[in-house]
Structure 1
């Protein structure tokens, strides 16, 4: 059963929104990835969004594209990604875990087999950034059969028909995009029109709404919550912190690399803690 309803209920009781960091599975290396994930949880992440590396990530900006490349070069694939998810799930049985993966992968594996693997690994939701809701019926059906929440994107300035389709099809949460374009912090996010979109989505009995794309500061998190979102997702800002530490993580001897990992973890814990604090209404 999805862990999202319990999380959103708990946060609502405390007067908080959710903060969900994104990290690429296998980044910066397969060996260091789980330590990175644990730092995000230690910092106060309410849930996780974990990316599976792909060779043509069309929805991502340069920062996350480079994370895809690093993870692929480290040998990370679908099976090894799911092994990481399984271990994280064993350590954190109540934490919602969402998977972000491009549609080619489940299509190539076979939808029934893919969503079955997700369920066996402890995944709660799957977001396919390149599959619009109008093309998602087969994915939704397979996800539902496996007990996985299908998450769809509500684009900025979407038509009423599109928002209604997203509302009807999304489970777990709805991913509301804050602006046109790809992921990244190079362009600011915007909450313009978000209140109207949230109202429309909720009128159609949608899952809670999370705002993503370009969320990189506590002020943007607070603005998303104030505009009616139930939480915020931050990806490129997290990945950029990891990227800045990559040279030190890969250079020198074991002692130097361990110091570099400690510095990275410390920065991630602090970043997540600051962003989480901004969700408190």
Structure 2
């Protein structure tokens, strides 16, 4: 899509910008509208990198929105980190509509992208159209994401023709975990690298406004980024992509046990919440909570 970009979102008059926000057009505080896919296209032209996080509820979505994160993905990764599934495969359309609507309600500025779960678009472009329309109409998202390169190109074309912005997702596609036999790095070797490039060009040609590159060698991801006019979003794809995404529970240290190599934990919220819960239980047991200041008279 080569539409002329809108004027990028700017903070309202009097809203300060600090740190990384200074001089940036995607990062910032309060604005008078949501970030759009045309803002992301403009960022690609400027060479501006941007961050995307997942969100699955109004509360955390609002926190990330206030922090200036320009794009929030309501990912089917909710299956792993919130719904207790081992993979993303069991996640349903009804669940994605509910979670996406919550994030939309909790935010004001970020572009909200709703994930298309397994079984919601693979059957046919018509099926993809029906379910993408549900995310737009019932949840109010600004775009949808679906997995697959060349195999998903016709569905992407139909959605874009209908006015639904689409983020594509190639490389490691978690909904294909059973076919992959796990979560291996994709694009290694000449044949696999050429296929990844074909997939990237196919989704761009179909009209996708952006493409996620997951678990791809950094050199290959950089090559794809240089050859595409649309923004690339890396996750385990090195620093050469236009944007980066992480699952928020990984990023914030909520995930128990081992996390993927590409994850950087910027906090240890699991420890913070655990300590708070233990302190609460201790005070209840000792009779020190509720104290007089927490009691009605």
TM range (shorter): 0.5 to 0.7
User: Does the 8 A contact of 1:163 with 1:197 survive in 2?
Assistant: yes
> Which residue of structure 1 aligns with residue 201 of structure 2?
164
Gaps of 5+ in 1: 26-32, 56-64, 180-189, 257-281
For 2:86 and 2:127, locate their aligned partners in 1 and report how far apart those are by CA, in whole Å.
Answer: 23
- Structure 1 residue 90, shift from structure 2 partner: 4.2
Tell me the secondary structure at the aligned position of residue 192 of structure 1.
Answer: helix
Q: Go from structure 1 to structure 2 and tell me whether the alpha carbon gap of 1:16 and 1:230 turns closer, same or farther (over 3 Å shift).
A: same
- Structure 1 residue 240, shift from structure 2 partner: 6.4
User: Does the 8 A contact of 1:151 with 1:173 survive in 2?
Assistant: yes
- Structure 1 residue 145, shift from structure 2 partner: 4.5
- Structure 1 residue 197, shift from structure 2 partner: 1.7
Question: Could you report, residue by residue, the CA deviation over 1:119-173 in whole angstroms, capped at 9, with x for unpaired residues?
Answer: 21222332223xx222214422442254222222343424443332132125221
Larger radius of gyration: 2
For 1:237 and 1:50, locate their aligned partners in 2 and report how far apart those are by CA, in whole Å.
Answer: 13
For 1:78 and 1:91, locate their aligned partners in 2 and report how far apart those are by CA, in whole Å.
Answer: 20
Tell me the secondary structure at the aligned position of residue 105 of structure 1.
Answer: coil
User: Does the 8 A contact of 2:65 with 2:108 survive in 1?
Assistant: no
> Which residue of structure 1 aligns with residue 15 of structure 2?
none
User: Does the 8 A contact of 1:2 with 1:172 survive in 2?
Assistant: no
> Which residue of structure 1 aligns with residue 250 of structure 2?
238
> Which residue of structure 1 aligns with residue 214 of structure 2?
177
- Residue 49 (structure 1) aligned to one of 73, 82, 85: 73
> Which residue of structure 2 aligns with residue 208 of structure 1?
231
Matched, 1:192 2:219: yes
- Structure 1 residue 112, shift from structure 2 partner: 3.2
- Structure 1 residue 44, shift from structure 2 partner: 2.8
- Structure 1 residue 117, shift from structure 2 partner: 1.0
For 2:100 and 2:199, locate their aligned partners in 1 and report how far apart those are by CA, in whole Å.
Answer: 32
Tell me the secondary structure at the aligned position of residue 147 of structure 1.
Answer: coil
Tell me the secondary structure at the aligned position of residue 51 of structure 2.
Answer: strand
Let me know the Cα RMSD of the aligned residues.
Answer: 4.0
For 1:71 and 1:177, locate their aligned partners in 2 and report how far apart those are by CA, in whole Å.
Answer: 19
Higher relative contact order (CA 8 A, sep 6+): 1
Q: Go from structure 1 to structure 2 and tell me whether the alpha carbon gap of 1:133 and 1:12 turns closer, same or farther (over 3 Å shift).
A: closer
Q: Go from structure 1 to structure 2 and tell me whether the alpha carbon gap of 1:173 and 1:114 turns closer, same or farther (over 3 Å shift).
A: same
Q: Go from structure 1 to structure 2 and tell me whether the alpha carbon gap of 1:66 and 1:96 turns closer, same or farther (over 3 Å shift).
A: closer
For 2:78 and 2:109, locate their aligned partners in 1 and report how far apart those are by CA, in whole Å.
Answer: 28
**More helix, by proportion:** 1
- Residue 37 (structure 1) aligned to one of 35, 58, 61: 61
> Which residue of structure 2 aligns with residue 147 of structure 1?
163
User: Does the 8 A contact of 1:126 with 1:151 survive in 2?
Assistant: yes
Tell me the secondary structure at the aligned position of residue 16 of structure 1.
Answer: coil
Tell me the secondary structure at the aligned position of residue 37 of structure 1.
Answer: helix
User: Does the 8 A contact of 2:143 with 2:167 survive in 1?
Assistant: yes
> Which residue of structure 2 aligns with residue 20 of structure 1?
52
Gaps of 5+ in 2: 1-33, 172-186, 188-192, 257-268, 282-297
Q: What's the TM-score, normalizing by structure 2?
A: 0.55
